[in-house]
Chains A and B, each alone.
Chain A
Amino acid sequence: MCSLALFPPPLPYGQTTVCESNNELLSGSSTEDQLKQDFSPPSLSFPRESLKLHSRTENSSKAAFLDHSETLWMRSAAAWRDGGLTGLLNEITNSHPHVPKWLSMSSGCILALLRWVSSFHGSLFPHLTLSSEDMIAEFSQVLNWSDCVVRAFAWHPHTDKFAVALLDDSIKIYNPKSATTPTLKHRLQRNVAVVQWKPLCASALAVGCQNCLLVWHVDPCSLSTRPSAGCAHVLSHPGHAPVTSIAWSPSGSLLLSASPMDTAMMVWDVAAESCVPLQRVGGGGVTFLSWSPDGSHVLASTPSALFRVWETRMWTCERWPCIKGRCQSGCWSPDGSRLLFTVQGETVIYALTFTNTPAVPSGTSKGPHAAVVVADLSETTFNTPDGDIVVGGEIQSLAWDPRGERLAVLLKGDPRAADRSPIIAVFKTRVRPIFELLPCGFVQGEPGAEPRLMQFHPNFRHGALLTVCWSSGRITHVPFYFLSASIPRLGPSGSPTLPHVQERPADFANQSLFTELIS
């Protein structure tokens, strides 16, 4: 098993990770040290002060403006519209002098009964008592989401453009080949939890937010910097909010969305604006989705200690109960055969192996029987010239590069201890012929900046490119230069690359840390 003790120590204070070259991570004291590259996506910075934030939500302004001299009927209708049954009952109970006593009494009783039932329900699934903003923060893949300037980030699967969702609920699209930077704003686009581009399409961007799901069509040839709200399709389903995770099928035909409030996972046919709910009781909701790159499986985790792996041909699922906590994050190997996942409250990475024998229909494919621990990330103390540094602990998110050779792990750290800030640990991985996990190093930013969110570029030609969004509002890109040892893969997500020279790093043999035993 691989552990953090085998990692090279973190960089001294003031140094930042620049890139990986010749099998080691290079560091520099400032960002000018970056190597000359033939492709360099823009490093961006969004200082918190530059954003115009909402000072008031819609709910708080309501009391100041609502005309209380309206008739009871009007108020009841408004309450029904805004707050549903509970709102209506509340309104009737509170407008005491205007309604008969028996009515306000009975509605008060019904309200109390409803609250009692919902508190009982809430005691079974404690997350249901959270507000939608807290819920997104709790289940997001972004560390400390509510305080984050960059709330979501997505590379386009085929080109070099990317979308950035900011704290002020706007989304900006950057394209190195174009001078225009479209900004997407919509009335319903509030508290963006996740963004993702549609595969096999140039323009469609799905956005999961507090009340609904939006699909923007951003014409790549348009010169407009503010696409109108007409470019966005709103997809919503009663009870399916807030949306905390979305996943496009790699073939670009379907979109999945998940909400911790809804036990059903939605399969959207976006063009037809129709959805099929895939309902499974147990778990109390769906928090995180990840579609395997070959399109055959989907990981769906729930707020309880249970996650499911769906197969996408007949949409049946396997239940995977965890012992300690809920599944926090997960990622798939490029061929879809291996799933790595982490569990809340544990400091290890588990692996599941799926074998898809092509001879039988995939509906009958046999899954694995138990998960294997492949890496232990428990706390480790490094002796550095600056003093002892403690690294390790719970894991916030996982990211695996599209070739399956680098695995980035965002460690939560401990917000109460100063010397244990969040950090990104990177592993070297191999999927074939056997699964191997080796240490690579830590990725660190400028002093004081904590990593919040990370994603690999989907088709970086010279290895892997990790994009990291920092707490300071900066977005930087860390390239890992290597020659790919894997066989070029043909998949829907990228064009076939020419075969690389098979090169095997010299120190692989004597430093193997997790090596699968072939039985």
Chain B
Amino acid sequence: MFSSEQSCWFIRKVICWRAAASIAWAVLLLPPSTAIFVFLSKFSVLHPIQTISECFSMLTSATAIFSFILLCGVIIMVGFLNFEYYTVIPTIACSKIALFGQLLHPRQLVNSLVHCIMGMIVAWCSAVTIGFRYETLGHPCAQTDGYHQMCLNEYHLILLLGGAFVGFSHSLLGVIHNMNYVSFHTVQQYKYLRFKGCLPLVVRCSATQALYSVRNFIVVYYFLGNSAHPLDSIAGLLDLSLLYHLWISATFLLFTWYIMLLLFRIFLTEGYSFPVQSSFTEDADHCLPKVLTEKQPMLLKFLALQDLALLSQHSPLRRCEVFSLSQPGGHPHNWNAISKECLSLLADLTQRLVAYHDTVATNGRAKSLSSGKDFMSPRPTAFMKTPASVFARSIAGGQQSPLTAPFTPDLDSPFMSPALRRLAAPVEQGSPWYGTVQSPHIMRRVPKLWSTSTEASSQALFADSQAHIWALEGLSYLVQASFSEDQFGVVQTTLPSILSCMLVLQEAVDRHFKLPHASSKPVRSTSSMGDSTYKTLRFALRATLKTAIYRITTTFGDHLNAVQLSAEHQKRLQQFLEYKE
């Protein structure tokens, strides 16, 4: 099932446990949030004492316990879906149509359907809890001839449909706002403190999101509902008590799900300390130098890089192990493996940037010749080296879904641009398709939907840059520490390659930021549970890169003149030594 023994170990022993712990905590937090919901839904200003007694009798009744068990089931299901769909590299849709493709992907449809059903279950629970006129689906009504029969209770129905709608829109917004993206914080905090700090945000987000969802639901219900029902009129829908109950149950639903999401993120991104070296050969696979080179699961690589960045800053003892020599033999295996992996990551990014730049530059020329619109511009980036291809994920490897492949065209999706599909496939010179791709005729027929946004493609290019940021930090702090801590001079041997790698990357990043839109700041939404950290990763990378080079030049000062570098790099380095960059 898994790509290697190694990742199997990590998923089994760490990731699964973390996911299980987050689900357990979310279930434990369910009783207090349910109690608050019951109180708020039954609250009446005129009879405060009665409200409290009603709440107590409600919370101890059999239906309440049954619906509580149902809610626990829903939370566990939501946790499972989070675990199944999470990604550490966001999926960035470069065009509107790609977003449609994502939304209508079978896997996403399943997700939406499950959310819909779960939303309905939660709404049923809240309807039962609120009681009053919402309690049952049918109610006895008197016909004119005195014959009793069951009628549909529309209040119950509207609550159920509302729940389903909120669940569905939650799942859609999840795709649009990349809610399955798990980002790592720059500041390390204990889990409890992080949870406490985020709680107000969760409350605010769920309340506002519930408000928007209920508004949309009311509109949909009004236009799609059957006019025979009493509620399907403007006057019927403008019932304040009904609106309040709709809103409060939607808030409750979103709150429990967001809490689950928040706990999942907090548990998953908690730092994990890998041993640098082990005296037992069977543990060698669990050590940092080995783990860093792993491709699967992505989370393992990210946690390893985060651990590297932290150890290089904070723990002299573990740094000492990195600089140590092997016994017997006296080879700096640890340092070699770590620096090699970091440098290859950075070189990869450089290559990606250069290829992107070349494509854009050539297309700029093609564009001016064919006087076409923005059809070709950054599209071919899709088939050059992408984060996905760099890390060569195997879909069979378990956690990563096709959706999580960052901006890699999903070639099976029916909504993928046909032109793109052709581009991505190896084009044979003799094929009839060859050459027609850039025809301006096709281009004019292609609707605006296909056009990609330059800003989004720039975001996609840096989608996995958190890894590069840690690699840069780890390398630069280790080099800085080596000035006083490296007894055997193991770092000195790699210093020229580290410096030249960073300088080449710096050049490529500088060039990238000269492109239009690359340096424009994206709008960040603060009142959404979706994490928009990925939108500014390229700025963070640029700042980290510069600081990393300065860290090395400031530590070594004029000693760097003795390092073997090309004349051009020497000149560049001199700029840094004089603080002119």
Interface residues of chain A, those whose CB is within 8 Å of chain B, are 156, 158-159, 200-202, 220-221, 251-254, 267, 269-274, 276-279, 313-316, 358-359, 361-362, 490, 492, 494-496
Contact = CB atoms under 8 A, between A and B. Distances in A.
Interface string B456-479: 000000000000000001000100
A361 B315 contact: yes
B540 A271 contact: yes
Interface string B88-125: 00000000000000000000000000000000000000
Contacts of B556: 495
Interface residues of B, number: 40
Given A315-B188, A361-B315, A496 B547 contact: no
B407 to A, nearest CB: 20
Contacts of B316: 358
Interface string B288-314: 000000000000000000000000011
A130 to B, nearest CB: 26
Contacts of B190: 314, 316
A271 B197 contact: no
B521 A273 contact: yes
B536 A494 contact: no
A273 B536 contact: yes
B536 A359 contact: no
Contacts of A314: 188-190
B547 A253 contact: yes
Interface string B539-555: 11011101100110011
B555 A495 contact: yes
Contact of A201 (B315, B546, B557): B546
B186 A201 contact: no
Nearest to B273: A361
B540 A200 contact: no
B187 A315 contact: yes
B187 A267 contact: yes
A250 B484 CA distance: 18
B506 interface: no
Given A253-B544, A272-B533, A279-B197, A362 B314 contact: yes
B524 A201 contact: no
Contacts of A251: 313, 477, 547, 551
Contacts of B187: 254, 267, 276, 315
Contacts of B193: 315-316
Interface of A is mostly: loop
Nearest to A202: B579
Given A271-B544, A313-B314, A490 B533 contact: no
A496 B554 CA distance: 9
A311 to B, nearest CB: 10
A488 to B, nearest CB: 10
A100 B154 CA distance: 37
Given A252-B550, A273-B539, A359-B317, 12 more contacts: A200-B547, A200-B550, A252-B551, A267-B186, A269-B540, A271-B543, A273-B536, A279-B196, A358-B317, A492-B480, A495-B555, A495-B556
Contacts of A279: 196-197
A490 B483 contact: yes
Contacts of B521: 273
Contacts of B189: 276, 314-315
A267 B185 CA distance: 11
Contacts of A277: 197
A222 B484 CA distance: 36
B5 interface: no
Contacts of B441: none
Contacts of B185: 276
B364 to A, nearest CB: 24
Among A251, A271, A273, A494: residue with most chain B CB under 10 A: A271
A387 to B, nearest CB: 49
B581 interface: yes
Contacts of B551: 200, 251-252, 492
B550 A201 contact: yes
10 contacts: A200-B554, A220-B580, A272-B539, A272-B540, A314-B190, A358-B316, A362-B314, A490-B483, A490-B555, A496-B483
A52 B462 CA distance: 46
B537 interface: yes
A202 B580 contact: yes
A313 B190 CA distance: 10
Interface string B132-154: 00000000000000000000000
A349 to B, nearest CB: 30
Contacts of A494: 554
Contacts of B317: 358-359
Among A270, A315, A359: residue with most chain B CB under 10 A: A315
A271 B543 CA distance: 6
B186 A269 contact: yes
A276 B197 contact: yes
Contact of B537 (A202, A252, A272): A272
- 10 pairs of A and B residues whose beta carbons are closest in the complex: A271-B543, A495-B557, A200-B550, A272-B536, A202-B579, A271-B539, A271-B540, A272-B540, A358-B316, A269-B186
Contacts of A201: 546-547, 550
A361 B540 contact: no
Contact of A252 (B196, B197, B483, B547): B547
Contacts of B484: 490
A156 B580 CA distance: 13
Nearest to A296: B314
A156 B187 CA distance: 25
Contacts of A495: 554-557
Given A251-B313, A358-B316, A492-B551, A270 B524 contact: no
Interface in B347-380: none
B536 A271 contact: yes
Given A272-B533, A272-B539, A490-B555, A158 B579 contact: yes
Among B189, B313, B542, B547: residue with most chain A CB under 10 A: B547
Given A251-B551, A359-B317, A494-B554, A220 B540 contact: no
Among A200, A316, A494: residue with most chain B CB under 10 A: A200
Contacts of A315: 187-189, 193
Interface string B227-250: 000000000000000000000000
